[in-house]
Structures are given as structure tokens and as C-alpha cells.
């Protein structure tokens, strides 16, 4: 039973690390999106956003999210493909 406790702790630790990485990635994405869209859309900061600024920010955020998701999916697929290729090479 003592041997399973460290294994369970490792699984829990890995889960926590994955959650922290996901949170850090989300924070980074939000920060980059805010910076890029603000620079692109807000030319004269004021107390409120006019309709064109709101529309620009909305479209900028949509494009940024679409791009981020595309890159993330492509990168994930590539990692998975490389992993399977590496496993197949080792089996040969």
C-alpha cells in the first residue's frame, strides 16, 4: 500500500502542475490580447469607448482567439504526431 501512495501523490501533483500551466497560458493569452488590441484600436484613451473602438476591440479579440486556437491545435497535433512517430521509431 505504501508504494501506491507516492504514485497517487505524483498523479495529484501532475494534475496541479497541468492546472497551473493552463492558468498561466490563459493569463499570458489575455495579457497579449489586451496589449495588441488596445494598441490597434484605442488611439485616444478616454473615459468611455466609442462604437468604432468597441467594434474594433471585439473583432480584434475574436481574430486573436481564433488564431490562438488554431496555433494551439496545430501545435498539439504536431506534438502528438511526433510522439507517435518517436514511439514507432523506437519499436523498429
What is the Cα–Cα distance from 76 to 68, expressed in whole angstroms?
A: 12
Residue 1: the pLDDT is: 47
| Single pTM value for the model | 0.68
Interval 45-89: pLDDT, tens: 999 999 999 999 999 999 999 999 999 999 999 999 988 877 777
Q: Is residue 40 within 8 Å of 64, Cβ to Cβ?
A: no
Q: Give the pLDDT of residue 7.
A: 82
Determine contact, residues 64/37, Cβ cutoff 8 Å: yes
Amino acid at each position: 500500500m505504501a508504494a501506491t501512495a507516492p504514485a497517487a501523490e505524483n498523479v495529484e501533483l501532475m494534475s496541479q502542475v497541468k492546472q497551473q500551466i493552463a492558468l498561466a497560458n490563459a493569463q499570458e493569452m489575455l495579457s497579449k490580447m489586451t496589449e495588441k488590441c488596445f494598441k490597434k484600436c484605442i488611439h485616444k484613451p478616454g473615459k468611455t469607448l466609442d462604437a468604432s473602438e468597441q467594434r474594433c476591440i471585439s473583432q480584434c479579440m475574436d481574430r486573436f482567439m481564433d488564431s490562438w486556437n488554431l496555433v494551439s491545435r496545430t501545435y498539439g497535433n504536431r506534438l502528438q504526431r511526433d510522439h507517435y512517430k518517436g514511439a514507432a521509431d523506437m519499436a523498429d
